[in-house]
Amino acid sequence: MMAISKILANITRYISEAAMRIFGPNDDAYPAIGVQPFTGEPYDKRTDDT
């Protein structure tokens, strides 16, 4: 009986930690750089290197 309650407690903790991670505050460390302009050359089939 003790083993079943321990397994249920571990399952409950596992699921609740996952839910807290999904729905908790955002902890991403991405820099706020915004949209970057395109600085390359547009594709032109006539000037393709192949």
In degrees rounded to 5, what are phi and psi of residue 24? -80, 180
pLDDT confidence of residue 50: 64
pLDDT confidence of residue 14: 97
3-state secondary structure of 8: helix
| Cα angle: 1, vertex 19, 13; to 5 degrees | 20
pTM above 0.85, yes or no: no
Q: Which residues of the chain have pLDDT under 50?
A: none
pLDDT confidence of residue 9: 96
Residues composing the chain: 50
How far apart are alpha carbons 12 and 19 in whole angstroms? Answer: 11
How far apart are alpha carbons 11 and 19 in whole angstroms? Answer: 12
